[in-house]
Structure 1
Amino acid sequence: MNEKAPHDPVVVESNHRPDTTIPMVIYALHLAGIVTGGLTSLVGVVIAYVYRGKGPDWLDEHYRYQIRTFWIGLLYFAVSGLLTFILIGFLTWLLAVIWLVIRCVKGFKGLQEHRKPENVDTWLV
């Protein structure tokens, strides 16, 4: 017979859930970007691009969500920076920070439940 033994690493590998450490680190890097001026978020998006397409669909959706979070957040924070000249930028910057925190918390929650994040394509939360 050509069946694999239960102790075979291939069989063991197929029965476990994928490691979610890298996506969790990326969410943490996005959050740390609030205090580092986006530097850690830039590192996070590079990691997301590298790991995208190398896992199950639900995990790949997290990488897509993280990439979108970076680019949309970059736009929101850039617009907020421009709007600081007319003082409303401080309010829009605060809203962008809240938006980022909510997206990362939703992402963390989805990872813990081993499911894709909700509303991946939205520009909001």
Structure 2
Amino acid sequence: MTQVYPPDEGNGLSMRNLTHVIYGLFALGLLSAGFFGIATIASIVLAYLKRADAAGTLYAQHFDWVIKTFWWGLLWMLLSALATFIFLGWITGVIALVWIVYRVIKGWLALLAGSPPVAGY
């Protein structure tokens, strides 16, 4: 099944480019080990702000993907931080970080292929 991209209106970023920006900001926050954590927060804010504009398109699924990745990742990182008191948190923290990176890469590759991200994990 081929997804038809909506026409660009010529004002501002196209939805496709905006989605690339969202993934890029999220990845920047991850790669900088939290130093540019504001970039990750900016990507989530952008995804929330533009989600209504992307409703019914391929990009809405990408925005939902990034938002879910952020909130589930935050939950698992917080639980891992609490678990560091019993020395298990370091392991679960690394697993959560690998999962977040995996989801960002998987979603971004799906965007490059012109398809929605497929939930598997």
Residue ranges of structure 1 left out of the alignment (5+ in a row): 1-12
Q: Which residue of 2 aligns with 1:32?
A: 28
Question: What does 1:1-125 align with in structure 2 at a 5 Å threshold?
Answer: 13=7, 19-34=15-30, 35-36=33-34, 38-55=37-54, 56-119=56-119, 125=121
Moved over 4 A (4+): none
Query: Which has the higher Rg, Structure 1 or Structure 2?
Result: 1
Residue ranges of structure 2 left out of the alignment (5+ in a row): 1-6, 9-13
Do 2:80 and 2:93's aligned partners in 1 also have CA atoms closer than 8 Å? yes
Q: Deviations for 1:50-84, whole angstroms, at most 9, x for unmatched residues?
A: 11121352111000111111111110110011011
Equivalent pairs counted in the alignment come to 106
Q: Which residue of 1 aligns with 2:11?
A: none
Q: Which residue of 2 aligns with 1:9?
A: none
> What is the RMSD of the two structures over their aligned residues, measured on CA atoms?
1.9
The whole-number CA distance in structure 1 between the counterparts of 2:87 and 2:98 is: 18
Do 1:58 and 1:115's aligned partners in 2 also have CA atoms closer than 8 Å? yes
Q: Which residue of 2 aligns with 1:10?
A: none
Do 1:31 and 1:100's aligned partners in 2 also have CA atoms closer than 8 Å? no
The alpha-carbon deviation at position 21 of structure 1 amounts to 1.9
The whole-number CA distance in structure 1 between the counterparts of 2:92 and 2:44 is: 23
Q: TM-score, normalised by structure 2?
A: 0.77
Residues 43 and 61 of structure 1: CA distance in aligned 2, closer, same or farther (over 3 Å)? same
Q: TM-score, normalised by structure 1?
A: 0.75
